[in-house]
Structure formats: structure tokens, C-alpha cells
Structure 1
Amino acid sequence: MAVELLPMIATERRRAADLIDSLTPAQLDTPSLCGAWTVRDVAGHPVSPLVQSPWALLPLLVGAGLRPHVANARLARRRSPGELAAALRDRAEHRFRLPVVGWHGQLTGLQVHRQDIRRPLVRGPGEALLLALTGRRVVLADLTGDGVTRLAGH
């Protein structure tokens, strides 16, 4: 059963909170690896389902043209970095489970999004393979070997 992933998810939420706390305003405004999102938008992405009920999110989702990622980014911009970090830390043990991908997807998402933040800021070594496997093509230049061609083809 995937319940054993909950402590790992809590750890990743705390790590994300620590990372957010370490960023300057300029770093928060830096473009991330996630399309049009800034580092701040990515930082706030996992917070919304932890602090808002689905019913409270509905008007924002409708206002965003039923695009959850747009709604999430708007919510992230409404909170200070300290509030984002505090929400992740205070609700690290929250049992929210993503539809379709469940806890496995949530754990992977937290790990990848931390790299979506770190890599543009050149903050420590990135997990290039993890990022490449999740479609972040910008890391392909950091990889070598026969598998790079295969990753580039996806």
C-alpha cells in the first residue's frame, strides 16, 4: 500500500519549505523550468490543496478557465514566501492524495518541482536524469551515454 510514502512526502514538503525560506525576492521572480512559471509559482504549486478546500478553489478555477495550473499560480502569488513555506511545513503530514497519480505522483512531483526551482538558480547539483525523465529537455546537455538520444526523442 502507498501509505508508506506519506513520511517521504512530508520530508519533501519540509525540504521545499526550507528551500523557499532560503530564496531572495529576485530568486523568487526567476523563470523556472516549468514553462511560464516563476520560481515562486512553482513553490506555491503544492500548497493550494493543503490549505484550501476544493469548494473554495472552485471559483478561482473557473476564473482561470478551468486550468488548474493557472489557478495554482495565481494562488501562489497571493501568499508571501514565508506563508508558502509555513503552509508546507505546518501541513507536511497532510494526507491529501492527488487524483489519478496518488501519493506516488505527489512524491515525484515534489522532488521534480524542487529541481525546477533549484536548477535555474544554480543551487547545487540537479538530478538531470530525473528531470529528463519528466520531460525537462533543458537537462539533456548534462547527460551522456546511449540513452540520451532515446530521451531526446520523447
Structure 2
Amino acid sequence: MATTKTETAAPLEFCYQYAAKFICTANIPGTSQTTSSFLPGSYQTAINIHNPYEKEVKLRLKIALAGGFNTKWITETLKGDQVIKIDCADARPKFDLQVIHGFEGFLVIESALSIDVTAVYTAGKGEVASIDVEQINERKLD
């Protein structure tokens, strides 16, 4: 199982960054959960992170929200060939998000090694009406 902790020391050397769109909200017209950003329905994201190596890899993660709010960085250690998933249910406690109806932003992942990051986006009015799976491109940090 992956280990998680909030980062308090100086960051490790991270060479790669991934920014995956992260949407966990609903638009329910006629309620306090109405937004003009999305069509009526429920929107969910799940991010899968895979360490393709035999050795451990250290990651750090945060959520960047619109309006300039970013969560604190947390660290994860993935064992060789291990996968973790971060979805809407995981994100609130893991990143200490204090939101009422939902949120939209980016899950930012930094890694010392090139890893596999895949996003799964679902939308619907109850049962899934659409699903999209996207490989997230890496950015080399200087």
C-alpha cells in the first residue's frame, strides 16, 4: 500500500510534473448547487498513477483550484509496479479540502522518475452517460 504524509521538509528533487484536470461537482438547477460552468448533471474524476519501475518512486501532489487556492503538497511513495487511484471521494480528506458542493481544478503530481498518469472522467444524471480516459502528458522541470 502507498504511504502518504504531508510534506514539511524541503522538497526532494522532482524532475517531472503532470497536471490533470480534476472535476468533482454537480449542476442541479434550482438548488444551491447550480453553476453555469457545466450542463446539468454530475461530474467525477479518477486519476490513476502507476510506477512502471521495479524500484520505489517518490511523488508529491497538490490540488490547485481556481481563484488561486492550492492545497499543501503531500508526498506518496509508490513501490515498484504499484498503482494508486485518487478520486473525488479520496481527494477531500487526503488534501484536507473544505468545500461544500464540489470543486474544479488540477491535480498536480511531481515525480523523480517518468511515471504513468491516466485520468478517467465520467458525467451523467445518475448513471454514467459518458466516460473519457486520457493519458496525462509529462512536463520536464528545470
TM-score of the pair, normalised by structure 2:
0.28
Bigger RCO of structures 1 and 2 (CA < 8 A, at least 6 apart):
2
TM-score (norm 1): 0.27
Greater fraction strand = 2
